[in-house]
Chains A and B, each alone.
Chain A
Amino acid sequence: MPAREDILHKVRTALGRSAGPPLPSKSFHQLWRARRRKF
């Protein structure tokens, strides 16, 4: 994780309002559909 995001994440976690890890760029359904298309 880049230092900027890491520090801000640590600060937010320390303050008890961490939103958790960032959302992935693709949803599970999108990945699943892409995988099915491959086969």
Chain B
Amino acid sequence: MSVAFHERIQYALLDERLQKALYAATGRLMDKRKTGVAPDQLPDYQELRAQAHRIKQHTLENLDHYLELLARRVEDRGGHVVWCRDAGEVQEFVSGLARERGVTLAVKSKSMTSEEVSLNEALERSGVEPVETDLGEFIIQLAGERPYHIVAPAMHKTRQQVAELFCAKLGVEREEEIEKQTMIARAVLRKKFLAAGMGISGANFLVADSGAVVIVENEGNARLSTSSPRLHVAVAGIEKIIPRAADLAVFLQLLGRSATGQTLTSYTSFLSGPRRPGELDGPDEFYLVLIDNGRSRILADREKRQTLYCIRCGACLNICPVYRRIGGYSYPGTYSGPIGAILTPQALGLSHEPELPFASSLCGACAEVCPVKIDLPKILLELRSEVKKAETRERRWRAEKIGFTLWAWLMCHPRLFELAGGAAHALLGASGDGRWIRSLPGPMKAWTQARDFPPLPSKSFRQLWRARRRKL
């Protein structure tokens, strides 16, 4: 585990206020999800999960076909499709377009993909002010932080902290009531919506057969961001495609319930290109930016391809016993929790984030709640295996390898094994408080730095066996 990762975890664990807030917030989301998918609410939940898995599997196995179909449909409706290989190309295109059109203010609806490619930073460098309009995103933008959770980006902030932040950054009176804080944000954002020359959104789904961008949300800010400015840019990963609008009947039932326990989110927008003659709302120009950024590399692995099935509901984060303790900022990269632990190392390369696949207890809870049935523990294990193989090739962990070779040799020699057991008992028998050994000697000390070791029994299995045989 790298020092930085370890330090971030320690920092989160030592923050009592954060621990309480995190545990309570994830617990609430978990309870709501549980109610939302209960058999009396959604009797065919398991069938829907299986169907969602099959649709994603089919789409990704034919991704080239659906990408071309989607691009044709978007262009048929007067939109433009821009293909970007990496974050740099996205930044270059969106900043360039803003400059070309004389845009100085851009309103943004919540988009993890835009976070992934650091779009806000690129826009700021180009002299464009990006304004996050989702309330949670608005709060963390003011705080100069990154999203803490896929669905609830400001989950770690208390209302007192938000009051202080609004006071300092917006110059308003201190207000701790959440409804009033929302009204303050609303007043600021309304002016921004009206003045913005560009609206930037993500996409929850891209419907190939109609060329529609589907966005689900609860605040109405995505609808305003995409319809009020004269220019709309939707930024989406290539894996967001689904074949038909009819498939949304499966995904929309699963997404809201898995994310927040809602039967359906408050707003579901279907956006198909720019405003047509006779239409009252909508942008003059529409651009769909399709991003690879490592996704085609993930697609190449038949087993781990499932990572791209993710619909970003955040259910795996809420139930993960590791995420619930270490929180979102302990994870490097944009995506946290179990999905981040498999997505980030694959997209950026295992050498970039080798410790991430180990940030899991492998309890399997994430796979149980995943609405598209991604086998997260299996992918985590495969990634761990790849990390270890790479480390062996690089001749790291030589001591560990020698240790396990000696252990294997000892296990094949019963007499020596018994002698070694006796020696270990002589060495460790007296240590500990009778229930646990708190500190092991020598190189084994690292093991007890974060956990206790069970005491050695007074008699070994062989001694007990011999005694039993003598009795009979």
- Determine how close the nearest CB of chain A comes to the CB of B295; give it in whole angstroms: 9
B297 touching A14, Cβ below 8 Å: yes
- B38-63 at interface with A (beta carbon < 8 Å): 61, 63
**Segment at the A interface, from B25-33, B81-89, B159-167, B413-421:** B81-89
Q: Does A15 contact B (CB under 8 A)?
A: yes
Chain A residue nearest in CB terms to B62:
A15
Q: Give chain A residues whose Cβ lies under 8 Å from the Cβ of B83.
A: 2-4, 6-7
- Determine how close the nearest CB of chain B comes to the CB of A6; give it in whole angstroms: 6
Chain A residue nearest in CB terms to B296:
A10
- Determine how close the nearest CB of chain B comes to the CB of A9; give it in whole angstroms: 9
Do A11 and B89 form a contact, CB below 8 Å, given A3-B83, A4-B83? no
Per a CB cutoff under 8 Å, which of B84, B238, B290, B299 touches A15? B299
Contact-residue bracket for chain B: 10 to 19
Q: Digit string of A1-38 for contact with B (CB within 8 Å is 1, else 0)?
A: 01110111011111100000000000000000000000
Bound complex: CA of A1 vs CA of B300, how far in Å? 20
A14 touching B296, Cβ below 8 Å: yes
Bound complex: CA of A10 vs CA of B296, how far in Å? 6
B61 touching A10, Cβ below 8 Å: no
A12 touching B64, Cβ below 8 Å: yes
A8 touching B68, Cβ below 8 Å: yes
The A-B contact count (CB < 8 A) is: 40
B299 touching A3, Cβ below 8 Å: no
Q: Give chain A residues whose Cβ lies under 8 Å from the Cβ of B299.
A: 11, 14-15
B300 touching A14, Cβ below 8 Å: yes
- Determine how close the nearest CB of chain A comes to the CB of B215; give it in whole angstroms: 23
Chain A residue nearest in CB terms to B66:
A11
Bound complex: CA of A10 vs CA of B291, how far in Å? 13
Chain A residue nearest in CB terms to B300:
A14
B67 touching A8, Cβ below 8 Å: yes
Bound complex: CA of A8 vs CA of B61, how far in Å? 13
Q: Digit string of B68-81 for contact with A (CB within 8 Å is 1, else 0)?
A: 10010000000001
Q: Give chain B residues whose Cβ lies under 8 Å from the Cβ of A4.
A: 71, 81, 83
Q: Give chain B residues whose Cβ lies under 8 Å from the Cβ of A14.
A: 296-297, 299-300
Bound complex: CA of A33 vs CA of B67, how far in Å? 40
- B214-266 at interface with A (beta carbon < 8 Å): 238
Q: Give chain A residues whose Cβ lies under 8 Å from the Cβ of B238.
A: 7, 11
Q: Does B284 contact A (CB under 8 A)?
A: no
Q: Give chain A residues whose Cβ lies under 8 Å from the Cβ of B297.
A: 10, 14
Max chain A CB contacts within 10 Å: which of B61, B64, B85, B89? B64
Q: Does B209 contact A (CB under 8 A)?
A: no
A15 touching B292, Cβ below 8 Å: no
Bound complex: CA of A21 vs CA of B362, how far in Å? 42
Q: Digit string of B268-300 for contact with A (CB within 8 Å is 1, else 0)?
A: 000000000000000000000010100011011
Q: Give chain A residues whose Cβ lies under 8 Å from the Cβ of B67.
A: 7-8, 11
- Determine how close the nearest CB of chain A comes to the CB of B198; give it in whole angstroms: 21
Q: Give chain B residues whose Cβ lies under 8 Å from the Cβ of A3.
A: 83-85, 89
B290 touching A7, Cβ below 8 Å: yes
- Determine how close the nearest CB of chain B comes to the CB of A20; give it in whole angstroms: 14
- Beyond A8-B64, A10-B297, A15-B61, list 5 extra A-B contacts (CB 8 Å): A4-B81, A11-B64, A11-B299, A12-B64, A14-B300
Selected A-B contacts with CB under 8 Å, 18 pairs: A3-B84, A3-B89, A4-B71, A4-B81, A4-B83, A6-B83, A7-B83, A7-B292, A8-B64, A8-B67, A8-B68, A10-B292, A10-B297, A11-B299, A13-B296, A14-B297, A15-B61, A15-B299
